[in-house]
Amino acid sequence: MKDFATWDGIFGLNSEPKRFTLKQVSEKTEIDVVKLRKMIHKGLIEAIKLCTHFGKCFYVAKNELKRLHVCIYKVVRNE
């Protein structure tokens, strides 16, 4: 996981690592915190894809979600 993004990186593609709470991710992605927790407990996939209404997609590492701190490691432009 070399590609990290800061909170601003979701919009500006910066490359410094930063951690976020589930509440912060919920606010940006408009996915309910309870739903995020259910995704974690189900252990769906190793990387959970979250899409924002800004047209950006990013991936959340499952092991970071389990610690309830989200580490954004890849930002994908939705061209």
> One-letter amino acid identity for 69?
H
What DSSP assignment string belongs to 30-53?
A: T--HHHHHHHHHHT--SEEEEE-T
Under 8 Å CB-to-CB from 11, ≥6 apart: which residues? 54, 56
The answer to which of 1-5, 17-21, 62-66 has the lowest mean pLDDT is: 1-5
Q: Average model confidence (pLDDT) for the chain?
A: 50
Residue that wins the pLDDT comparison between 27 and 11: 27
Question: Is residue 39's pLDDT more than 70?
Answer: no
